[in-house]
Structure 1
Amino acid sequence: MSRRKKNRAGDDTNEIDLTPMLDVVFIMLIFFIVTASFVKESGINPNVPEPNNNPPPDDAEPNILVRISADDQIWLLEKEGERRVDARAVRSNIERLRAELPKAAVIIQASGAANTGVYVTVADAARAANAPSVVLVPMKD
């Protein structure tokens, strides 16, 4: 009889305790919820002015105009006209024009189809050239 009692007692202790497994699952769930809530997408917050159809006054300080075309070409407007500029030479050209026009702001006129990286490169070059302000103006395509 003692053998039967031992077998019955052994059957009761053969259950699997799920508490540690549930603890691990809940800890993992909390970890993923906390880490997912801190993920933020980075974006560009360009300084876009409000539309103004009034022409500037005749005695206004001229600005430095940089155009970015839809095929990611960079054009710099000068007295002689527009000329294409390499992305690596944007800073030196802006510094040269700023020597002639010290109070001139840099206006970047970018096409909507242009690559954002090209705009960032031009804006960074203008800031590195100590431009007093850098403004993005969307180009009408």
Structure 2
Amino acid sequence: MAFKKYAAEHEEAKVDMTPMLDIIFIMLIFFIVTTSFVKPMGIDYDKPESAQKSRAKGDNVLITVSKTGLITMEGRQVDMERVTANIERKLAETPGAAVLIQADGETLHGTVVGVMDKVKAAGVRKISVTQTDE
């Protein structure tokens, strides 16, 4: 007796994806419908401008003191007695300017302190002191 071979031997097992796609589309519709598109409540306001304007490079004053005691301000030589007057002139042009005192490593301490005193007498509140090794 001969057994009939099944045609299923050559067919591969397949999974029907239609129900899974239906579920995905139903979930997508659910999330779209339940999402709220409400504009958040709040107060519109204008931000005030900063009281301090950003300083340009020209707003700061550079004073250099060489190891021989030579004081240079903005590229020109200045006497110790003229430092206060020059700083006051610069403050009149740009109020709130900062002063950078750049002293050589071998400069006498008294000279640097003297320059700092003259700058403070002019009314500058922001003073920085750095040391250079030339």
Corresponding position: 1:83 with 2:80 = no
Q: Which amino acid aligns with 2:104?
A: S
Q: Which amino acid aligns with 1:66?
A: I
Counterparts of residues 39-78 of structure 1 (less than 5 Å): 59=56, 62-77=59-74
Corresponding position: 1:107 with 2:107 = no
Q: Give the deviation of 1:60 after TM superposition.
A: 5.4
Q: Which amino acid aligns with 1:136?
A: V
Counterparts of residues 1-141 of structure 1 (less than 5 Å): 59=56, 62-77=59-74, 82-141=75-134
Do the aligned partners of residues 58 and 94 (structure 1) sit closer, same or farther apart at CA in structure 2, a change above 3 Å counting? closer
Contact 1:105–1:131 (CA under 8 A) maintained in structure 2? yes
Question: Alignment partner of 2:59: what SS?
Answer: coil
Q: Give the deviation of 1:123 after TM superposition.
A: 0.2
Unmatched tracts of structure 1, length 5 or more: 1-56
Question: Alignment partner of 1:131: what SS?
Answer: coil
Q: Give the deviation of 1:140 after TM superposition.
A: 3.1
- The TM-score, its normalising length taken from structure 1, stands at 0.53
The share of aligned pairs that are identical, in percent, is 35
Unmatched tracts of structure 2, length 5 or more: 1-53
Alignment length (residue pairs): 81
**Runs of 4 or more above 2 Å deviation:** 57-62
Do the aligned partners of residues 68 and 60 (structure 1) sit closer, same or farther apart at CA in structure 2, a change above 3 Å counting? closer
Q: Give the deviation of 1:110 after TM superposition.
A: 0.3
Do the aligned partners of residues 61 and 114 (structure 1) sit closer, same or farther apart at CA in structure 2, a change above 3 Å counting? same
Q: Which amino acid aligns with 1:102?
A: P
RMSD: 1.8
Do the aligned partners of residues 59 and 90 (structure 1) sit closer, same or farther apart at CA in structure 2, a change above 3 Å counting? closer
User: Larger C-alpha radius of gyration, 1 or 2?
Assistant: 2
Q: Give the deviation of 1:137 after TM superposition.
A: 1.0
